Amino acid sequence: MGVLVLHGFTGNPFSMRPLAERCAKAGYSVELPRLPGHGTSLEDLVTRRWPDFIDAAFGAFNELAERCEKVAVVGLSVGGGLSALIAEERTVAGCVFINPMLKGPGAEMEQGLRDLIEQGVEILPTDASSDIKKAGTTEAKYEGWPLRALQSVIDGVEVVAANLSAITAPSLLLSSREDHTVAPNNGDEIVEKSSGPVERIWLEESYHVATLDNDQELVESATLEFLAKVLR
Protein backbone atom coordinates (compact mmCIF):
# COMPACT_ATOMS: atom_id res chain seq x y z
CA MET A 1 0.00 0.00 0.00
CA GLY A 2 1.43 3.34 -1.04
CA VAL A 3 1.17 6.97 0.04
CA LEU A 4 2.26 9.89 -2.12
CA VAL A 5 3.04 13.02 -0.08
CA LEU A 6 3.36 16.41 -1.81
CA HIS A 7 4.65 19.71 -0.40
CA GLY A 8 3.62 23.23 -1.33
CA PHE A 9 4.87 26.07 -3.55
CA THR A 10 8.19 27.68 -2.46
CA GLY A 11 8.43 25.03 0.28
CA ASN A 12 10.18 21.68 0.18
CA PRO A 13 9.80 18.14 1.58
CA PHE A 14 10.84 19.37 5.05
CA SER A 15 7.29 20.56 5.72
CA MET A 16 5.88 17.09 5.04
CA ARG A 17 8.67 14.87 6.33
CA PRO A 18 7.24 14.20 9.84
CA LEU A 19 3.92 13.12 8.32
CA ALA A 20 5.66 11.03 5.66
CA GLU A 21 7.78 9.33 8.32
CA ARG A 22 4.66 8.49 10.37
CA CYS A 23 3.14 6.91 7.27
CA ALA A 24 6.31 4.90 6.65
CA LYS A 25 6.38 3.69 10.26
CA ALA A 26 2.78 2.56 9.83
CA GLY A 27 4.01 0.21 7.10
CA TYR A 28 3.17 2.11 3.93
CA SER A 29 5.46 2.63 0.96
CA VAL A 30 5.95 6.39 0.84
CA GLU A 31 7.13 8.78 -1.86
CA LEU A 32 7.90 12.39 -0.88
CA PRO A 33 9.25 14.03 -4.05
CA ARG A 34 10.94 17.43 -4.15
CA LEU A 35 9.06 19.43 -6.73
CA PRO A 36 11.26 20.94 -9.48
CA GLY A 37 12.85 24.26 -8.51
CA HIS A 38 12.24 23.73 -4.80
CA GLY A 39 14.64 23.10 -1.95
CA THR A 40 17.65 24.54 -3.76
CA SER A 41 17.66 28.26 -4.56
CA LEU A 42 14.89 30.69 -5.34
CA GLU A 43 16.39 31.34 -8.76
CA ASP A 44 15.82 27.67 -9.66
CA LEU A 45 12.09 28.18 -9.28
CA VAL A 46 11.90 31.27 -11.50
CA THR A 47 11.82 29.26 -14.73
CA ARG A 48 9.58 26.47 -13.48
CA ARG A 49 5.90 26.22 -14.34
CA TRP A 50 2.83 24.21 -13.35
CA PRO A 51 3.47 21.44 -15.94
CA ASP A 52 6.86 20.79 -14.31
CA PHE A 53 5.16 20.15 -10.99
CA ILE A 54 2.54 17.96 -12.64
CA ASP A 55 5.22 15.81 -14.26
CA ALA A 56 7.03 15.31 -10.94
CA ALA A 57 3.85 14.48 -9.05
CA PHE A 58 2.57 12.01 -11.63
CA GLY A 59 6.02 10.47 -11.98
CA ALA A 60 6.15 9.73 -8.25
CA PHE A 61 2.57 8.44 -8.29
CA ASN A 62 3.30 6.11 -11.20
CA GLU A 63 6.31 4.69 -9.38
CA LEU A 64 4.17 3.90 -6.36
CA ALA A 65 1.33 2.49 -8.45
CA GLU A 66 3.73 0.05 -10.13
CA ARG A 67 4.63 -1.59 -6.83
CA CYS A 68 1.55 -0.97 -4.66
CA GLU A 69 -1.93 -2.43 -4.94
CA LYS A 70 -3.49 0.79 -3.68
CA VAL A 71 -2.18 4.37 -3.47
CA ALA A 72 -3.46 7.34 -1.49
CA VAL A 73 -2.40 10.95 -2.08
CA VAL A 74 -1.62 13.52 0.62
CA GLY A 75 -0.94 17.16 -0.22
CA LEU A 76 -0.35 20.48 1.50
CA SER A 77 -1.29 23.75 -0.23
CA VAL A 78 -0.27 23.51 -3.91
CA GLY A 79 0.56 19.89 -3.13
CA GLY A 80 -3.13 19.56 -2.36
CA GLY A 81 -3.99 20.95 -5.79
CA LEU A 82 -1.65 18.43 -7.38
CA SER A 83 -3.19 15.64 -5.29
CA ALA A 84 -6.63 16.64 -6.53
CA LEU A 85 -5.42 16.54 -10.13
CA ILE A 86 -4.03 13.03 -9.64
CA ALA A 87 -7.32 11.90 -8.08
CA GLU A 88 -9.19 13.34 -11.06
CA GLU A 89 -7.08 11.45 -13.60
CA ARG A 90 -5.96 8.27 -11.81
CA THR A 91 -7.49 5.65 -9.54
CA VAL A 92 -6.59 6.52 -5.96
CA ALA A 93 -7.71 4.89 -2.73
CA GLY A 94 -8.18 8.20 -0.95
CA CYS A 95 -7.06 11.82 -0.68
CA VAL A 96 -5.84 13.88 2.26
CA PHE A 97 -5.98 17.60 1.60
CA ILE A 98 -4.20 19.90 4.07
CA ASN A 99 -5.11 23.54 3.45
CA PRO A 100 -5.20 22.86 -0.31
CA MET A 101 -4.83 25.59 -2.90
CA LEU A 102 -7.55 25.27 -5.51
CA LYS A 103 -8.12 28.83 -6.65
CA GLY A 104 -6.39 32.16 -6.93
CA PRO A 105 -6.25 34.88 -4.25
CA GLY A 106 -8.97 36.96 -5.85
CA ALA A 107 -9.43 39.33 -8.78
CA GLU A 108 -7.70 42.34 -7.22
CA MET A 109 -4.57 40.50 -6.14
CA GLU A 110 -4.40 38.53 -9.39
CA GLN A 111 -4.56 41.76 -11.38
CA GLY A 112 -1.78 43.14 -9.21
CA LEU A 113 0.27 40.04 -9.98
CA ARG A 114 -0.25 40.49 -13.71
CA ASP A 115 0.71 44.17 -13.44
CA LEU A 116 3.96 43.32 -11.68
CA ILE A 117 4.81 40.72 -14.31
CA GLU A 118 4.14 43.23 -17.10
CA GLN A 119 6.47 45.67 -15.32
CA GLY A 120 9.23 43.07 -15.48
CA VAL A 121 9.24 42.04 -11.82
CA GLU A 122 10.46 38.44 -11.60
CA ILE A 123 10.55 37.88 -7.82
CA LEU A 124 8.45 39.49 -5.11
CA PRO A 125 10.26 39.37 -1.75
CA THR A 126 8.22 37.89 1.09
CA ASP A 127 8.42 37.79 4.84
CA ALA A 128 11.09 35.33 5.97
CA SER A 129 8.77 33.89 8.63
CA SER A 130 6.56 30.91 7.81
CA ASP A 131 2.77 30.88 8.14
CA ILE A 132 3.01 28.84 11.33
CA LYS A 133 1.42 29.76 14.66
CA LYS A 134 3.78 27.66 16.78
CA ALA A 135 6.53 29.87 18.17
CA GLY A 136 10.05 29.24 16.90
CA THR A 137 8.99 26.93 14.06
CA THR A 138 9.72 27.53 10.37
CA GLU A 139 9.39 25.46 7.19
CA ALA A 140 12.64 26.51 5.49
CA LYS A 141 10.77 28.04 2.57
CA TYR A 142 12.04 30.52 0.00
CA GLU A 143 11.93 34.20 0.93
CA GLY A 144 10.20 35.30 -2.24
CA TRP A 145 7.55 34.50 -4.84
CA PRO A 146 8.68 33.88 -8.45
CA LEU A 147 5.77 35.67 -10.06
CA ARG A 148 5.56 33.91 -13.43
CA ALA A 149 5.77 30.54 -11.72
CA LEU A 150 3.07 31.63 -9.27
CA GLN A 151 0.84 32.80 -12.11
CA SER A 152 1.16 29.41 -13.79
CA VAL A 153 0.19 27.69 -10.53
CA ILE A 154 -2.89 29.89 -10.12
CA ASP A 155 -3.98 29.15 -13.68
CA GLY A 156 -3.30 25.45 -13.15
CA VAL A 157 -5.21 24.95 -9.92
CA GLU A 158 -8.23 26.77 -11.31
CA VAL A 159 -8.44 24.13 -14.05
CA VAL A 160 -8.16 21.44 -11.37
CA ALA A 161 -10.96 23.05 -9.36
CA ALA A 162 -13.24 23.04 -12.39
CA ASN A 163 -12.91 19.24 -12.61
CA LEU A 164 -13.22 18.25 -8.95
CA SER A 165 -16.41 16.31 -9.66
CA ALA A 166 -14.16 13.71 -11.31
CA ILE A 167 -12.88 12.76 -7.85
CA THR A 168 -14.80 9.70 -6.63
CA ALA A 169 -12.41 8.54 -3.90
CA PRO A 170 -13.07 9.42 -0.26
CA SER A 171 -11.29 12.52 1.02
CA LEU A 172 -10.08 13.86 4.34
CA LEU A 173 -9.92 17.66 4.38
CA LEU A 174 -7.87 19.34 7.12
CA SER A 175 -8.56 23.08 7.22
CA SER A 176 -6.92 25.69 9.42
CA ARG A 177 -9.51 28.12 10.71
CA GLU A 178 -6.95 30.94 10.30
CA ASP A 179 -4.71 30.74 7.23
CA HIS A 180 -2.76 33.73 5.91
CA THR A 181 -1.53 32.00 2.74
CA VAL A 182 -4.48 30.11 1.28
CA ALA A 183 -8.00 31.14 2.26
CA PRO A 184 -9.95 28.37 4.03
CA ASN A 185 -12.69 28.63 1.40
CA ASN A 186 -10.34 26.82 -0.99
CA GLY A 187 -11.32 23.72 0.92
CA ASP A 188 -14.98 24.48 0.28
CA GLU A 189 -14.31 23.58 -3.34
CA ILE A 190 -13.59 19.98 -2.28
CA VAL A 191 -16.69 19.79 -0.10
CA GLU A 192 -18.99 21.22 -2.73
CA LYS A 193 -17.67 19.57 -5.90
CA SER A 194 -16.07 16.22 -5.11
CA SER A 195 -18.18 13.21 -6.08
CA GLY A 196 -16.67 11.14 -3.27
CA PRO A 197 -17.40 11.39 0.46
CA VAL A 198 -15.53 14.20 2.24
CA GLU A 199 -14.70 14.35 5.95
CA ARG A 200 -13.60 17.79 7.12
CA ILE A 201 -11.67 18.53 10.30
CA TRP A 202 -11.08 22.11 11.36
CA LEU A 203 -7.69 22.95 12.86
CA GLU A 204 -8.09 25.61 15.52
CA GLU A 205 -4.46 26.13 16.59
CA SER A 206 -2.55 26.19 13.31
CA TYR A 207 -1.98 28.49 10.37
CA HIS A 208 -1.16 27.38 6.82
CA VAL A 209 1.68 24.90 7.37
CA ALA A 210 -0.36 22.77 9.75
CA THR A 211 1.97 19.79 9.34
CA LEU A 212 4.55 21.60 11.49
CA ASP A 213 2.20 23.64 13.66
CA ASN A 214 0.36 23.20 16.96
CA ASP A 215 -2.08 20.73 15.38
CA GLN A 216 0.67 18.51 13.98
CA GLU A 217 -0.33 15.51 16.09
CA LEU A 218 -3.98 15.88 15.06
CA VAL A 219 -2.99 16.16 11.40
CA GLU A 220 -0.84 13.03 11.62
CA SER A 221 -3.23 10.90 13.68
CA ALA A 222 -6.27 11.85 11.57
CA THR A 223 -4.32 11.10 8.39
CA LEU A 224 -3.20 7.69 9.66
CA GLU A 225 -6.72 6.81 10.77
CA PHE A 226 -8.07 7.78 7.35
CA LEU A 227 -5.35 5.86 5.50
CA ALA A 228 -6.06 2.77 7.56
CA LYS A 229 -9.67 2.88 6.36
CA VAL A 230 -8.96 3.41 2.67
CA LEU A 231 -5.81 1.32 2.26
CA ARG A 232 -6.34 -1.71 4.51
What distance in Å separates the CA atoms of residue 220 and residue 151, rounded to the nearest whole number?
Answer: 31
The amino acid sitting at 204 is: E
77 catalytic per annotation: yes
Catalytic member of 7, 15, 38, 77? 77
208 catalytic per annotation: yes
Catalytic member of 179, 206, 213, 215? 179
The amino acid sitting at 55 is: D
Backbone phi and psi for residue 31, each to the nearest 5 degrees, phi listed first = -120, 130
What distance in Å separates the CA atoms of residue 24 and residue 160, rounded to the nearest whole number?
Answer: 28
Catalytic member of 130, 208, 213, 215? 208
29 catalytic per annotation: no
* Enzyme catalytic residues: 77, 179, 208
